């Protein structure tokens, strides 16, 4: 996608073609729609419009129907953009710490974070090196009636002195593949570390090692609807006073302290901490909240005698302990008429999908099987979700 393919859709006749393409779009019907529109419109405009209609359809999951229907995207920009709930959480935190601040977003993509920051009352400037993506970001601010500017350029070449807050979203892909090593980010980690010497927020992959976080910087792991989405590093005026934090959306529950916890045998309930809590190394906070203990000091399962509602973890009632042997588990499935089997595991080398196929559940009942390790021994528990 080129800048022209974005800008051509901003005014008539491109905007008219886009409106018609969006109104007629159905997933899987792109070719037929292109053929229909090409009878009346220029082929290049039609291709751009149908591509944009498809991207808007996919964008609803991240941006919601209202915003997605007005925004402009590139394929890579949509894939790499932050979903609205996460971006809004981050922008609210910045606005609370530095109200009305001027923020420069290095690597702004199609502008997801710019939009949330502008809506939080921050003064925003985006920097993007890809021309088409920069064009989409600028168009999105206008389309949503928000103030701000987008500059075409490289993050490392910007003068950051006029801005109170620096936000950076370094590229975590190379040759079309996801990059997990923070040392392979672009801009490089040395540049990212220098930003964190001031007041900055840097979006990083949730797998970042704890020891890679610079001293004096807070690391926050964020999940949305139970799925870990990212980690963010906070420095300067944005530092929240903790070394590591886990924040769970949409509830907004947050935890930053890991108290001591005992280790003991399985209780009536097993708690599976949210992935953000696990990534942040704060599993013992769940034990404290539910008045429980760890099954094993190295495994992220908590257990306890009571059912305690907590946003930090999902609870499972333990029905019985089972031998971790395929024959015994098959017998358990047949005896209990299990047809829908959820398999949860930690600390053991097993593929739940492969095991489920081997156990061949064909009955009418629903169950959860939790497989984990205590010491050197693999164990299994028949469980059910409360309520």
Query: What pLDDT score does 172 carry?
Result: 67
- What pLDDT is attached to residue 182? 79
The pLDDT of residue 174 is 54
Query: What local confidence, expressed as pLDDT, does residue 178 receive?
Result: 62
pLDDT at 187 (0 to 100):
86
For residue 117, the model assigns a pLDDT of 98
The 3-class secondary structure across the chain, one letter per residue, is CCHHHHHCCCCCCHHHHHHHHHHHCCCCCHHHHHHHHHCCCCHHHHHHHHHHHHHHHHHHHHHHHHHHCCCCCCHHHHHHCCCHHHHHHHHHHHHHHCCCCEEEEECCCCCHHHHHHHHCCCEEEEEECCHHHHHHHHHHHHHCCCCCEEEECCHHHCCCCCCCEEEECCECEECCEECCCHHHCECCHHHHHHHCCCCEEEEECCCCCHHHCCCCCEEEEEEECCEEEEEEEECHHHCCCCCEEEEEECCCEEECCCCCCCECCCCCEEEEECHHHHHCCCHHHHHHHCCCEECCCCCCCEEECCCCCCCCEEEEEEEEEECCCHHHHHHHHHHCCEEEEEEEECCCCCCHHHHHHHHCCCCCEEEEEEEEEECCEEEEEEEECCC
Q: What is the pLDDT of residue 175?
A: 53
pLDDT of residue 179: 59
What pLDDT is stored for residue 177 in this prediction? 58
Give pLDDT < 50 ranges for the chain: none
- pTM of this structure: 0.90
């Amino acid at each position: 996608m080129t800048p022209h393919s974005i800008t051509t859709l901003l005014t008539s006749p491109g905007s008219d073609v886009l409106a018609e393409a969006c109104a007629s779009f159905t997933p899987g019907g792109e070719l037929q729609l292109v053929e229909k529109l090409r009878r009346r419109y220029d082929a290049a405009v039609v291709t751009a419009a149908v591509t944009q209609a498809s991207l808007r359809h996919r964008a609803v999951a991240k941006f919601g129907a209202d915003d997605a229907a007005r925004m402009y995207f590139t394929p890579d920009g949509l894939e790499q953009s932050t979903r609205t709930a996460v971006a809004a959480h981050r922008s609210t935190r910045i606005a609370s710490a530095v109200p009305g601040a001027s923020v420069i977003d290095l690597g702004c993509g199609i502008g997801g974070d710019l939009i949330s920051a502008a809506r939080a009352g921050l003064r925003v400037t985006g920097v993007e090196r890809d021309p088409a993506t920069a064009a989409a970001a600028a168009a999105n601010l206008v389309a949503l009636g928000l103030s701000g500017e987008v500059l075409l350029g490289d993050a490392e070449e910007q003068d950051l002195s006029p801005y109170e807050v620096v936000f950076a979203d370094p590229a975590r892909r190379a040759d079309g593949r996801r990059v997990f090593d923070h040392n392979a980010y672009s801009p490089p980690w040395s540049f990212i570390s220098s930003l964190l010497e001031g007041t900055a927020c840097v979006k990083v992959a949730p797998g970042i090692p704890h020891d890679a976080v610079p001293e004096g910087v807070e690391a926050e792991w964020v999940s949305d609807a139970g799925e870990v989405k990212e980690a963010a590093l906070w420095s300067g005026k944005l530092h929240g006073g903790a070394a590591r934090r886990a924040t769970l959306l949409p509830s907004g529950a947050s935890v930053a302290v890991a108290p001591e916890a005992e280790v003991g045998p399985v209780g009536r309930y097993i708690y599976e901490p949210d992935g953000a809590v696990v990534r942040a190394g704060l599993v013992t906070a769940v034990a404290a909240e539910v008045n429980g203990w760890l099954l094993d000091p190295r495994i992220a399962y908590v257990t306890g005698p009571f059912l305690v509602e907590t946003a930090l973890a999902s609870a499972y009632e333990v029905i019985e302990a089972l031998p971790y042997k395929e024959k015994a588990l098959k017998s358990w499935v047949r005896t209990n008429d299990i047809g829908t089997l959820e398999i949860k595991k930690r600390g053991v080398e097993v593929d739940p999908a492969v095991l489920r196929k081997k156990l061949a559940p064909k009955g009418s009942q629903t169950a959860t099987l939790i497989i984990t390790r205590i010491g050197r021994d693999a164990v299994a528990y028949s469980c059910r979700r409360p309520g």
